[in-house]
Amino acid sequence: TVVVLDCGSQYTQLIARRIRELEVYSQILPWDASAEEVLSLSPKGIVISGGPMSCVEEGSPKLDERILKSGIPLLGICYGMQLLAHQLGGQVVKAPSAEYGRSRVDLEGQDSTLLSGLPGSFTAWMSHWDQVEQVPPGTRVTARSESGAVAAFEGASGRISALQFHPEVAHTQGGMDIISNFLFKVCGCRRSWILSDWIDGAVEEIRRRVGDDTVICGLSGGVDSTVAAVLTSRAIGDRLKCIFVDNGLLRKDEARSVMETYSSLNLDVKMVDASHRFLSALEGVEEPERKRKVIGEVFVRVFEEEASSIPGAQWLLQGTLYPDVIESGHQGKGASVIKSHHNVGGLPDFMRLKVLEPLRDLFKDEVRRIGSLLGVPQGFIRRHPFPGPGLAVRCLGEVNRERLQVLREADHILQEELLASGLYDSLWQCFCVLLPVRSVGVMGDVRTYAETAVIRAVESQDGMTADWARLPYDLLDRVSRRICNEVRGVNRVVMDVTGKPPATIEWE
Ligand code: XMP
């Protein structure tokens, strides 16, 4: 195991994922986890992440002295580098200006273990204000940025290494080589995080925990619940009973196509068409959080009714992933609730079922790869994330059958063209939003007065931050023409060119 101590960087999870991509298991703990907790994992190495604070300010994250003195190799990244410098007797100062974005880094000397194999000069991703003025005793500068600031330092024994830039970010050339040097040359890790082995272990573990019991599972049509179900059915066969609720807020043909996939995977699934219940509960509801709440409540009721018709179930299977576990563990550390995402689809502890969460140690990309290994079709695995409240939060204003139908058709055209363009997989999400904003148009000499469809396309690593995607004009043109021609109820197509932040990915 390599432990990543989180000082609040948006890249912390990315660091942990990169380590796992190199087949070394990594775990994230908050920076103030006790030394006992950290050391009890017997980590081969500890990475200290970036963070938004300045380490010379009061109340900023600090490392427990026992971790510093443990003899375990430490790698500080960005804030983590400043923290190591500060706590080990170097000096950190506020720089006259921030360095942000791509920057050139030049190696100093040739004897760095961490940077071995890198060219003498390379491009790296920087994002910092403070800088290290003086490196701690016993360490030396191994690289500088173009402004002359310390970009990397390391100790003679290899126990201390530090980088001002972000090796985990794709914009840093050779970033994976640096992480690999840390894991294999500095820490002496072995490649032991192999997903096919993980499957065997997980199947055993499910069998052991569940015994002869029956497990129920709510399938959402998404990758996580599907992979959790396929894995569990591999362990206990048809003692896994699945329920798929059609809430009437799904995309075009979605209910039919996910049911086909489930049946090809030999899952025992009951489909419940509850669309009328959801849509009537949503009548007159326009406020986004209220929509989520109503949908969550109806879902729980429907699921409860269906589940109670399965006699003797003792377990509830959930597709919880590692990021959800980390986020709930970190709750109360200053993160504000922007949207109440994560309780939709989650269930309160009714019926006193025991919870089975076989994917709780995994990142999304690992779940996708495990799904492939388990035979879940590629087309299903690569689908973009889709929110639990579905089209309700993409149909701004009133949610009714007619408007949902308009949105479905417009979105379907966008998906078709996107797949045909070959760009689908390069995007995190791409979808239509329907606005209750009517404008005047003209079609075949006839005046129209109809609503507006928005194209929302984003690139992202994890949905936490996102950039709007620069879709080619000819693709946008085809989508716009087709939507206006083929979808009654829309006469104007616009494109959202806002990042996250300041916007969110969804419009509600
Ligand atoms: P935002 O809109 O907050 O979305 O930038 C980030 C990611 O979360 C998805 N999302 C949701 N998922 N229930 C969900 O299960 C929700 O209520 C919900 N709202 C947003 C969104 O699609 C994006 O991937």
ipTM confidence score = 0.99
Q: Is residue 507 part of a domain?
A: no
**228 & 279 share domain:** yes
Query: How far apart are alpha carbons 200 and 127 in whole angstroms?
Result: 41
Cross-strand pairs, 131: 93
pLDDT number for residue 431 = 98
CA of 40 to the centre of ligand 1 (A): 35
| Pocket perturbation via mutation, ligand 1, pick of 10, 225, 341 by most ligand atoms within 8 A of CB | 341
Three-state SS for 427-463 is CCEEEEEEEEEEEEEEECCEEEEEEEEEEEEEECCCC
> Does the annotation list 226 as a binding residue?
yes
Per-residue pLDDT for the chain (508 aa), expressed as one digit of tens each? 999 999 998 899 999 999 999 999 999 999 999 999 999 999 999 999 999 889 988 889 999 999 999 999 999 999 999 999 999 999 999 877 777 888 999 999 888 999 999 999 999 998 888 899 999 999 999 999 998 999 999 998 889 999 999 999 988 999 999 999 999 999 999 999 999 999 999 999 999 999 999 999 999 999 999 999 999 999 999 999 999 999 999 999 999 999 999 999 999 999 999 999 999 999 999 999 999 999 999 999 999 999 988 988 999 999 999 988 887 665 434 344 455 554 434 555 556 789 999 999 999 999 999 999 999 999 999 999 999 999 999 999 999 999 999 999 999 999 999 999 999 999 999 999 999 999 999 998 999 999 999 999 999 988 888 999 999 999 999 999 999 999 999 999 999 999 998 999 999 9
**342 & 254 share domain:** yes
**282 & 316 share domain:** yes
CA of 76 to the centre of ligand 1 (A): 31
> Does the annotation list 284 as a binding residue?
no
* Number of domains, the chain: 3
236 closest CA partner among 191, 280, 268, 271: 268
C-alpha of 264 from chain center:
27
- Out of 348, 381, 414, a domain closes at 381
Query: How far apart are alpha carbons 343 and 337 in whole angstroms?
Result: 12
Residue 356 CB contacts under 8 Å (≥ 6 apart), including other chains: 206, 209, 210, 215, 232, 315, 316, 317, 318
The reply to whether ligand 1 has any atom less than 6 angstroms from the CB of 296 is no
Ligand 1 atom nearest to CA at 339: 3
* 96 C-beta neighbours (distance < 10 Å), count: 8
Residue 147 CB contacts under 8 Å (≥ 6 apart), including other chains: 99, 103
CA of 60 to the centre of ligand 1 (A): 30
Name the active-site residue from 166, 341, 412, 484. 166
Ligand 1 atom nearest to CA at 466: 5
β pairing state of 2-6 and 45-48: parallel
For residue 233, give its domain range: 195-381
- Out of 381, 412, 438, a domain closes at 381
> In this structure, what DSSP letter does residue 395 have?
B
The three-state secondary structure class of 360 is: coil
pLDDT number for residue 273 = 98
The reply to whether ligand 1 has any atom less than 6 angstroms from the CB of 293 is no
> In this structure, what DSSP letter does residue 66 have?
H
> Does the annotation list 222 as a binding residue?
yes
- Out of 163, 186, 209, a domain closes at 186
The reply to whether ligand 1 has any atom less than 6 angstroms from the CB of 389 is yes
pLDDT number for residue 324 = 85
Q: CATH number, domain at 74?
A: 3.40.50.880
**148 & 212 share domain:** no
Q: Is residue 51 part of a domain?
A: yes
Query: How far apart are alpha carbons 478 and 485 in whole angstroms?
Result: 11
pLDDT number for residue 335 = 41
**411 & 346 share domain:** no
pTM metric for this prediction? 0.88
Ligand 1 atom nearest to CA at 386: 22
